[in-house]
Chain A
Amino acid sequence: MTDEERSKLQRLRAWLSQARYFVEEAYSVRYRSTIARARRDEEDLFMLLVFAEMMGVPNPATYYTLELQPLLLERFHEWHIRMGMEHSPLENFRCC
């Protein structure tokens, strides 16, 4: 392959990736917020399961979910800010 061919190929690749970017943006732009919100709702539900015991809802899987709590710390903080609570609403789970 000569240099010229290689540069042509490269340009074609760059063009294709640009086209792909535009197509994908065009596909997702209108419903991005709806889908992100649906995903967020699902994640909130998962968080509710993990923190169930703390809110007095018995959860047989607590032994396992306990391990997940530190991993969810940041997301939990984001959630209570989003819900309009400045500080963590849970007594024994202070994130800030």
Chain B
Amino acid sequence: MSAIVVAIVGIGAMALGYFIYSKFIAEKVFQLDPNFRTPAHEFEDGVDFVPTNRYILWGHHFTSVAGAAPIVGPAIAVIWGWVPAFLWVVLGTIFFAGVHDAGAIWASVRNRARSIGAVTGDVVGARARSLFMIVIFLVLLMVNAVFAVVIAGLLIQFPSSVVPVWGAILVALIVGQAIYRLKLNLLWVTIIGVVALYAMVIIGPSVPISLPEKVLGLPTNAQWIVLLFVYAAIASMLPVWMLLQPRDYINGIQLFIGLGILYLSILIANPTVVAPAFNANVPEGTPSLIPLLFVTIACGAISGFHGLVSSGTTSKQINKETDIRFVGYFGAIGEGMLALASILAATAGIATLADWQGLYSKFGAGGVGAFVNGGAAIVANGVGLSSEIAATLLTVMAVLFAGTTMDTGVRLQRYILQEWGEIYNLSFLKNGMVATLVAIGTCVALAFGAGGLDGSGGLLIWPLFGTTNQLLAGLTLLVITVMLARLGRPVWYTLAPLTFLLVMTISALLIQLGGFYKSGNWFLLVLDLIILAAAILVALESASTLAKQLREKRGVETQA
């Protein structure tokens, strides 16, 4: 199968989704009103509430939600063959992610732009709100741990990327100073910064860096993980203008350039998809496709993390309510395209089927490494970069994404811990430094516990991360569904995805529970049990809230 055909079918389907399905959702279900006074206007204060141009807002929304997850998830999931992953990404983007993301913004805009957690408290109840906080904390914990494992693996596998990856941080620091202290013209600073970043990508292969095999008894993998969390701790405490702001900005630009190069190369090189459409002989130990596919690919098909971005910052800046369709739904499509590129790189970039099977010798083994190797081959054939430079380019892309998500995650986790300190009056937790250390400590423990000190456990934890992410999406969908039911609007377009997600996540958790028990992985078994408890609570909460809603509706009808 030609990769161009796959890409065109996928992008075409998503385009139809945007032009037809999202129009239907926006007009008939959410009934977006161009005359509604959005919170950005109602509470305009120049700080949080700022009406923003919809293209700018889309760029902000898309770059905030797109991280390494839509690359890693699909690259792991192609182990079942490319067709299941492809279908779930495309259909998930159209019918799940787009509706969920736009819905989260809508729910927030209609509730004075409060966060989806706060809206849950109002719409569903206090119990659901606490549940929300717990699930968010679990998601953040997993995000940080899992991405540390991913980055450490990539830095070991591709030593040529070490210089550009850490150099990118230096570039960001200089850009921050140039803009805030020297007040230089941003347009020029941008151009110079991006050129510097790509210059380092080109230099990278000639100055590969590997850490020593053992330092203080820690293997290489563990050394990188510790270094990464030291960095994340420092980054999350620096003033944002110094590092986070310029780094996110350069990252956003890099995202568009990377996506552009990948699709352009696919178009020029037209590689053949060597992976089987449906993989009949999956390696031993691979869990069954249903339900695991639906938690392995979370971001890229539907992700609860988006709801946090949608309701926390995006909803406060929506200029007109009708912009929600473009910002939310099209943001999800952007992420779907990233996931599609990842699928193509991991299935079409490999030379032969035997090579591909070698990469995917174990569940969770191929993953992001296959994305980089495959993608590099495509880019090398397409735009003619040397394969080493191409591999460095893609590694840098994946690592920078994971890195940004990581230190945003650590920052958010610190806020939650500080909030708990306030609520339960634990004065030591209120301290920013202590809260950061606690956050980092739990993440490091999880990263070591899940992957093993030497990283041999790999990405066993990945599906668990996906599961928690889906639970969060489920909670957001529940809020949207209840709001729609109260307004007397059709609920099926959110209720059906919600039901599907809950069934898939709970059965995935049960299957994994069996797997962890068999392999004697007690650490992950306990984690699985905690998430399972949260999942069952979410399901019960959904059922009882919707049943109550139905009763109320019937009551009104009989009275009338």
A interface residue numbers (CB < 8 A to B) = 16, 19-20, 22-38, 40
Contact = CB atoms under 8 A, between A and B. Distances in A.
B50 interface: yes
Contacts of B55: 22
A36 B46 CA distance: 8
A27 B56 contact: no
A23 B190 contact: yes
Contacts of A19: 187
B47 A33 contact: yes
Interface stretch (B76-84, B135-143, B244-252): B244-252
B449 interface: no
A11 to B, nearest CB: 17
Nearest to A19: B187
B240 A26 contact: no
Contacts of A28: 245
A95 B317 CA distance: 32
A96 to B, nearest CB: 19
Contacts of A29: 52, 56-57, 59-60, 317
B293 to A, nearest CB: 33
Contacts of B59: 26, 29
A19 B316 CA distance: 24
A36 B47 contact: yes
B239 interface: yes
A27 B47 contact: no
Contacts of A27: 179, 186, 245-246, 249
Please classify the interface of chain B as helix (H, G, I), strand (E, B), loop, or mixed, using the class held by over half of its residues.
helix
Tier of interface size on chain B: 20 to 34
A31 B240 contact: yes
A20 B313 CA distance: 23
A14 to B, nearest CB: 14
A37 B49 CA distance: 12
B56 A23 contact: no
Contacts of B50: 32-33
A30 B47 contact: no
Interface in B480-514: none
A17 B186 CA distance: 12
A82 B53 CA distance: 27
Contacts of B53: 25
Q: Which 10 A-B pairs give the minimum distances between C-beta atoms? A: A36-B47, A25-B56, A31-B245, A33-B48, A29-B60, A31-B240, A34-B240, A27-B249, A33-B47, A23-B186
Contacts of A22: 55-56
29 contacts: A19-B187, A20-B185, A20-B186, A22-B55, A22-B56, A23-B187, A23-B190, A24-B186, A25-B52, A25-B56, A26-B59, A27-B179, A27-B186, A27-B246, A27-B249, A28-B245, A29-B56, A29-B59, A29-B60, A30-B60, A30-B64, A30-B313, A31-B241, A31-B244, A35-B241, A35-B245, A36-B46, A37-B47, A38-B239
A30 B316 CA distance: 12
B89 to A, nearest CB: 26
A45 B46 CA distance: 20
B177 to A, nearest CB: 14
Nearest to B59: A26
Interface string B34-60: 000000000000111010110111011
A30 to B, nearest CB: 5
Nearest to B316: A33
Nearest to B60: A29
Interface string B317-350: 1000000000000000000000000000000000
Contacts of B316: 33
B56 A30 contact: no
Nearest to B49: A33
Contacts of B244: 31
B148 to A, nearest CB: 23
A70 to B, nearest CB: 24
A30 B248 contact: yes
Contacts of B185: 20
Nearest to A25: B56
B248 A32 contact: no
B47 A26 contact: no
A36 B185 CA distance: 21
Nearest to B47: A36
B313 A33 contact: yes
Given A35-B241, A36-B46, A20 B187 contact: yes
A36 B53 CA distance: 19
Interface string B190-218: 10000000000000000000000000000
A23 B185 CA distance: 10
B115 to A, nearest CB: 13
A31 B246 CA distance: 10
A31 to B, nearest CB: 5
A30 B187 contact: no
